Amino acid sequence: MGPRVIVQDAPFDAASLLDGFGAGAGAVVTFSGLVRADDGLVALEIEHYPGMTEAALSDHARNAVERFALTDALVVHRFGRIEVGAAIMMVATAAPHRRAAFEAADFLMDWLKSRAPFWKREIGAEGPRGWVAAKDADEAALTRW
Amino acid sequence: MGPRVIVQDAPFDAASLLDGFGAGAGAVVTFSGLVRADDGLVALEIEHYPGMTEAALSDHARNAVERFALTDALVVHRFGRIEVGAAIMMVATAAPHRRAAFEAADFLMDWLKSRAPFWKREIGAEGPRGWVAAKDADEAALTRW
Amino acid sequence: MTMQVAAIDVLYFAWLRERIGVPRERVETSAATVRDLVAELAGRDDWHAAALSDMDAVRVAVDQRLADMDAPLAGAREVAFFPPMTGG
Amino acid sequence: MTMQVAAIDVLYFAWLRERIGVPRERVETSAATVRDLVAELAGRDDWHAAALSDMDAVRVAVDQRLADMDAPLAGAREVAFFPPMTGG
C-alpha cells in the first residue's frame, strides 16, 4: 500500500484523515499549513496543474517513504479559494522512531513549497491581488536534502 | 494565555484537543509518540513525579513559546499503563511560519525525552520487564539547542 | 534529419495563463527542444513574447514532469509553462 | 556555623523506589548539600547504600527542580532521587 495523496478543492477533515494513521508506528508527525490574515487578506486562491499535481505528489510521497523508511505517509493539498483560518494542506508521516518522522515531514514540506505545481494568489477585501512570489529561501531549502 | 499542559493516566483524544488549536497561525506541527509492539511488548508502564511533572512541562512549554515565538503550544503526556498501539504523548506547536513550528516541536521532544520526570517500564505477556534505559543519544540531542 | 511536425498541447498557469490569455493551446511544431518551442511561441504575438521573455522566471514541464530548456520534445504530447511554484 | 536540623521529604522513583523499598520517607537531617544527604542516606542500610552507590546513574531534584550534588539544602522541603528520565 503506497502513501495516500489527496488533491481537492473542498475543505478536508484532518481528524478523520488521521484516524488510524500510523497504526503500529512509534512516531507520527503532522504539519498543517493555514491561511493567515496578514495585511487584510481574506482568502487565497490556489491554482494547480490537474494530473501533474497528483502524479508529482505521489512520486514524492513514495520517495519520502523509501528515504526515511516510513510506515505511512499522507499528503493533502487543496486548490481553489481557501478562506483565512482554513487549512491549505497537511502532511503526515509515521515511522518507528521520531527522528525519521520529523525529517520526512520537513522534507515533504520543503519539496511541496517549490516543486509541487501549485500557485497562490492573495485575495483582499478589494478583490484579487497579485500572485505570491516564490521565495529564494524555499528554493534554497531543497539543497538540505 | 499560556501553553496548555495535560498530564493524565486516561487515554486522550488528539482530535478534540487539536480542535481550534493554532487559530490564526500559519503553521501547526504535531508529534505523537505511540507504544510499538517490539519484542512481544504488550504495554508500557509509566511512572512520573506528580507536581514536578506538571511544573516542569509548563516551564518548558513556556520556554518553547518564547524562544520560537509560538502563537500556541500543547503538551499532553500520559502515565500509568499504556497498551501497545496507544498514544503515550503528543506535542503541538503553532507559529506564523513552518520553520518555527517544526523546530519548536523538535525542541520540546528533545527536552521531554530526557528532562521531564517520566520513567518507562516495559510490560511483556510474561509480566513486567526492566525499566527502559535512558539513551545517550537522547541526552546528546539536547546540546543541539 | 527530417523535420518532424507534431501537435503538442501547450499549457500556461498562473500569471503566464493570464498574460497569454488562454490556459492552453494546441500547436503544430517541429521544435526539437523546449528552447526551440519557446522561440516559436514567442514569435506568435506580443503577449507570448512578453510572457516568455525571461525564461529564468518560468518553469517548464514536459508531459507533466519538470524539465529544462534543453529537454527534447520528441514524442512529447504536453508542455506546460508556469511561474516558480508556491505550494504548501 | 550552627548545624541546622531540618525535616526533609525524600522521594524515590522507578528502580530507586523499588530497591530502597519505599516511595518516600521523612528524614531529620543537618546535611548542607545533596552530597551530604546522600552520604547520610547511604549509611542507613544496605538497600539505601546500594541504590545510592553510583550517583552518576542517579538524578536529583530539590523542591521539584533538577539539581546537582553540590546543591544546597537550606530551606529545602523535598529532595527526590531517580534514574535518568525516559519520557516522550
Residue C6, domain member (yes or no)? no
Query: In angstroms, what separates the C-alpha of A86 from chain B's closest C-alpha?
Result: 9
Q: Kindly list the structural domains of chain A, giving each domain's residue range(s) and its CATH number in brackets, ordered by start.
A: 4-10+25-144 (3.90.1170.40)
Chain B touched by D13 (CB under 8 Å)? yes
Residue A55, pLDDT > 70, answer yes
Average pLDDT, chain C: 95
Q: Nearest CB to B34: which of A25, A35, A106?
A: A25
Residue A88, pLDDT > 60, answer yes
Q: How many CB atoms lie within 10 A of CB A13?
A: 12
- Binned at pLDDT 50, 70 and 90, residue A102 comes out as very high
- Binned at pLDDT 50, 70 and 90, residue C1 comes out as low
Residue D59, domain member (yes or no)? yes
What is the model's pLDDT at position B139? 86
**SS3 state at A81:** strand
- Binned at pLDDT 50, 70 and 90, residue A1 comes out as low
Please give the average per-residue pLDDT across B16-44, as a whole number.
95
What is the model's pLDDT at position D42? 97
CA–CA distance from B16 to each of A12, B12, B87, D25 (Å)? 16, 9, 14, 40
CB B16 within 8 A of CB B92: no
Structural domain total, chain C: 1
* Residue whose grid cell is 505511512: A72
What is the model's pLDDT at position D1? 53
* The three grid cell numbers given for residue B31, joined into one nine-digit string: 508529534
Name every chain B residue with its beta carbon within 8 A of the beta carbon of A33.
26-27, 98
Share of chain D above pLDDT 70, in %: 97
Domain carrying residue D49 = 21-82
Please give the average per-residue pLDDT across C11-19, as a whole number.
97
By CB atoms closer than 10 A (0-12, 13-18, 19+), residue D75 is exposed
Residue B112, pLDDT > 60, answer yes
Please give the average per-residue pLDDT across C49-58, as a whole number.
96
Residue D2, pLDDT > 80, answer no
Residue C43, domain member (yes or no)? yes
Q: Determine whether the interchain pair B34/A18 forms a contact, defined as Cβ–Cβ distance below 8 Å.
A: no
Residue C47, domain member (yes or no)? yes
Residue C4, domain member (yes or no)? no
What is the model's pLDDT at position C4? 80
Residue B113, pLDDT > 80, answer yes
Closest among D62, A22, D88 to B79, alpha carbons compared: D88
- pLDDT digits 0-9 by tens, D27-60: 999 999 999 999 999 999 999 999 999 999 999 9
Q: Determine whether the interchain pair D86/B55 forms a contact, defined as Cβ–Cβ distance below 8 Å.
A: no
Please give the average per-residue pLDDT across B12-19, as a whole number.
96
- Binned at pLDDT 50, 70 and 90, residue B1 comes out as low
Residue C15, domain member (yes or no)? no
CB A86 within 8 A of CB A33: no
- Binned at pLDDT 50, 70 and 90, residue B128 comes out as very high
Residue C70, domain member (yes or no)? yes
Sign of CA dihedral D26, D31, D32, D38: negative
Q: Nearest CB to A29: which of B31, B36, B98?
A: B31
Three-state helix/strand/coil letters over A61-75: HHHHHHHCCCCEEEE
| Backbone angle region of D17, left / alpha / beta, with phi > 0 → left and psi within -120 to 50 → alpha | alpha
Query: In angstroms, what separates the C-alpha of B53 from chain D's closest C-alpha?
Result: 8
- pLDDT digits 0-9 by tens, A121-143: 999 999 999 999 999 888 888 88
**Which residues does A contribute to its contact with B (CB < 8 Å)?**
14-15, 18-19, 22-37, 85, 96, 98, 101-102, 105-106, 109
Residue B136, pLDDT > 90, answer no
What is the model's pLDDT at position B34? 97
Q: Determine whether the interchain pair B85/A24 forms a contact, defined as Cβ–Cβ distance below 8 Å.
A: yes
Residue D38, domain member (yes or no)? yes
**SS3 state at B98:** helix
- pLDDT digits 0-9 by tens, B51-78: 999 999 999 999 999 999 999 999 999 9
DSSP annotation of B134: P
